[in-house]
Chain A
Amino acid sequence: MSQIIVLAEHEAGTLVKGSLVAVSAAKELAAKVGGTFDIAIAGQGVDSVAAELAGYGAAHIYQIEDATLANYTAQAYAQAFDTAVRHSGAQFVLAAATSRGKDCTPRVAARLKAGQASDIVAINGSAGQLTYTRPMWAGAVLGDVKVNTDITVLTVRTTAFDPAAATGSNSPIEKMASGVDAGSLRMQYVGTDSVKSDRPALSDADVVISGGRGLKAPENFKIIEALADKLEAAIGASRAVVDEGWVPNDWQVGQTGKVVAPNLYIAVGLSGAIQHVSGMKGSKTIVAINKDPEAPIFQIADYGIVADLFEVVPELTDKLSSR
């Protein structure tokens, strides 16, 4: 029995880092409301993920194993997590605002008749008077929201808290039945087309280089790739070029894509529309390369060069190689 439960996520048996961000938020919440936190993990053959999760200071790890959970589907996972939340008796349910967290968590909230605050970046106040800060209107404003139901469901923006560090704990792992009603499921996982890449994942990368419409054509992303190779960077993109079909949606940074906060973010040929900026303004150092001195990106960049990206980016790549 804990006050708080984290719904953890794995990808083919590997713990998703965003889940450790949710654990951090759970610890911050525990400091306010008292008590302990539990972690739930669902799947089939997830012993190693459960064992890994046992090292983060939770009171209990609930491991839900079922054939219906072999591949993720929103319907089955929502039922399994619902079972875990009811078993734990938790009043606060947290998950990372990853694509899967966004997909599944509202269904869990619906089953629990709970209100959900999405994509929170801060937890404010004290027990009984908690509010949660969340970006709205593409992050142009922050809303403080309160949840009126007995159970509160939260998804946590993955850049808003540092991932929890292992504590060396050995939390007890309790295997439990899923409670999934197989007959109620009317969807099946078919497959995944992964974007194969040796680059770091966009959400975790120390360096991100993003391209916008200034690149003029999809093939010109190769100059971004060359620079990314040198800096071991992930590649991002503005919504505009995703919309044009130049690059995969998975590269999109911003309000309707991913939120990133790397040490170094290099914005190449993108104007800095609010929809994009909302996804990267938490970066430690921002560099803008754009030939338009009026581009709004320069208003948030630490370092800017007003110049032709087709000259500057290859020169930067060359000079990094010869350092």
Chain B
Amino acid sequence: MKILVTAKRVTDPYTKITLKKDGSGLDLDGVDYKMNPFCEIAVEEALRIAEDADDPEVVVVAIGDEEATKEVRTALAMGGDRGILVEHEEAELDSDLVARILVKLCEEEEPDIVLLGKQAVDGDSNQVGQLLAEYLGWPQATFAYKVDLNDDEDGATVKREVDGGVETVSLSFPAVITTDLRLNEPRYASLPGIMKAKRKPMDVYDLDELDLTDDLKVETVGFSLPAERQAGVLVETVDALMDKLANEAKVI
């Protein structure tokens, strides 16, 4: 059982991103970075599947500059077996290029499962897993809530978070699975895990080596700030609130 799992480096989700004063772009000065929370869930799920599987291997992938190796090392410290960094400036990526990179790695690695976060909390596009699955002609289970491997490890039954409830699909491997919030609680890397991760192998590729061009299908050409809501009034009592809702807002 080989699992390829992504570990995207994103801005700290608890930092509110804003624009440079002159509006020319994002103001990322002093912003911390960490692994995309949905990728953390994907890494955890990969490790859990591997624990029970025959001949398991968990390969962690990140795309970015050298800094992105930190997220790969974090995933290796959690228990991943080896890492791959595809070097490319993150500013010059779209979901499609990420998917095309992963297609090349899948052709090379031939994993049974590719696990990804359902979305990255920076771009919020929610596309890569689906694009990858279609490019490969593989089945997919996005927004996974529970993954149960078949006894003979040739497929899985996956419960998915959907509008209105939970949907169950069965799929045969190789397949793409993207993670949702309730799938698991990611573990923290242990100190011995962190020490061991430093010695785990990491391959580095660039786009040329993967025989890829960096053409983008979708480009962000500008940013703006959304209109801010103004703070309203504080009321002291429930009666005062009901009066406002009935007579001012006219919503009850």
Binding site for B on A (CB under 8 A): 11, 73-75, 78, 98-100, 102-107, 109-111, 114-119, 131, 133-149, 184-195, 201, 203, 207, 231, 239, 242-243, 245, 248-250, 252, 255-256, 258, 263-264, 273-275, 281, 284-287, 298-306, 312, 315-316, 319-320
Known: A193-B166, A264-B249, A274-B16. 9 other contacts (CB 8 A): A115-B96, A137-B26, A142-B223, A187-B172, A192-B162, A193-B167, A273-B14, A281-B229, A302-B249
A166, B106: Cα distance in complex, Å: 47
A286, B171: Cα distance in complex, Å: 43
Quick check: A148 and B130 within 8 Å, CB to CB?
Answer: no
- Chain A residue at minimal CB-CB distance from B238: A315
B227 to chain A, nearest CB (A): 9
A116, B168: Cα distance in complex, Å: 27
Does B192 lie at the interface of the complex (its beta carbon under 8 Å from any beta carbon of A)? no
Which of B44-52, B75-83, B131-139 interfaces with chain A?
Answer: B131-139
Chain A hits for B139, CB < 8 A: 73-75, 185-187
A136, B119: Cα distance in complex, Å: 11
Most buried by B among A207, A256, A312: A256
Quick check: B233 and A135 within 8 Å, CB to CB?
Answer: no
Quick check: B161 and A286 within 8 Å, CB to CB?
Answer: no
Chain A hits for B232, CB < 8 A: 286, 301-304
Quick check: B238 and A203 within 8 Å, CB to CB?
Answer: no
Q: A115-B217, A142-B225, A249-B181 are known contacts. Are A187 and B170 too (CB-CB below 8 A)?
A: yes
Binary CB contact string for chain B from 214 to 252 against chain A (1 if under 8 A, 0 otherwise)? 011111111111101101111111110110110001011
Interface secondary structure of B, over-half rule: mixed
Most buried by A among B95, B141, B164: B164
Chain B hits for A116, CB < 8 A: 95-96, 125, 127, 217-218
A110, B96: Cα distance in complex, Å: 8
Interface residues of B in 147-177 (CB under 8 A from A): 157, 159, 161-172, 175
- Chain B residue at minimal CB-CB distance from A114: B217
Quick check: A298 and B163 within 8 Å, CB to CB?
Answer: no
Q: Which of A75, A145, A231, A298 contacts B231 (CB 8 A)?
A: A298
Q: A146-B218, A192-B166 are known contacts. Are A320 and B140 too (CB-CB below 8 A)?
A: no
A301, B233: Cα distance in complex, Å: 8
Interface residues of B in 1-30 (CB under 8 A from A): 11, 13-14, 16-19, 26
Does B71 lie at the interface of the complex (its beta carbon under 8 Å from any beta carbon of A)? no
Quick check: A142 and B181 within 8 Å, CB to CB?
Answer: no
A103, B237: Cα distance in complex, Å: 45
Chain B hits for A287, CB < 8 A: 241, 245
Inter-chain CB contacts under 8 Å: number: 268
Q: A116-B95, A249-B161 are known contacts. Are A187 and B141 too (CB-CB below 8 A)?
A: yes
- Chain B residue at minimal CB-CB distance from A72: B167
Quick check: A103 and B96 within 8 Å, CB to CB?
Answer: no
Interface secondary structure of A, over-half rule: mixed
Q: A186-B171, A195-B164, A319-B238 are known contacts. Are A245 and B140 too (CB-CB below 8 A)?
A: no
Report 11 cross-chain contacts, Cβ distance below 8 Å, ordered by A residue.
Answer: A75-B139, A137-B11, A147-B218, A186-B139, A252-B181, A275-B121, A281-B226, A286-B229, A286-B232, A301-B231, A303-B233
A160, B162: Cα distance in complex, Å: 20
B19 to chain A, nearest CB (A): 6
Does B94 lie at the interface of the complex (its beta carbon under 8 Å from any beta carbon of A)? yes
Quick check: B226 and A107 within 8 Å, CB to CB?
Answer: no
A173 to chain B, nearest CB (A): 26
B158 to chain A, nearest CB (A): 9
Q: Which of A191, A252, A305 contacts B238 (CB 8 A)?
A: A305
Quick check: A137 and B218 within 8 Å, CB to CB?
Answer: no
Q: A106-B95, A256-B181, A264-B245 are known contacts. Are A100 and B223 too (CB-CB below 8 A)?
A: no
Quick check: A188 and B181 within 8 Å, CB to CB?
Answer: no
Quick check: B131 and A109 within 8 Å, CB to CB?
Answer: yes
Quick check: B126 and A118 within 8 Å, CB to CB?
Answer: yes
Does B124 lie at the interface of the complex (its beta carbon under 8 Å from any beta carbon of A)? yes
Does B180 lie at the interface of the complex (its beta carbon under 8 Å from any beta carbon of A)? yes
Quick check: A117 and B251 within 8 Å, CB to CB?
Answer: no
Quick check: B218 and A115 within 8 Å, CB to CB?
Answer: yes
Q: Which of B16, B162, B226, B238 contacts A135 (CB 8 A)?
A: B226
Chain A hits for B169, CB < 8 A: 73, 187-190
Give 9 nearest A-B pairs by CB, closest first.
A115-B217, A187-B139, A106-B130, A302-B232, A110-B134, A107-B134, A190-B168, A187-B171, A115-B218
Chain A hits for B124, CB < 8 A: 118-119, 134-138, 255
Quick check: A118 and B163 within 8 Å, CB to CB?
Answer: no
Quick check: B182 and A242 within 8 Å, CB to CB?
Answer: yes
Chain A hits for B165, CB < 8 A: 192-195, 248, 250
Chain B hits for A299, CB < 8 A: 229, 231
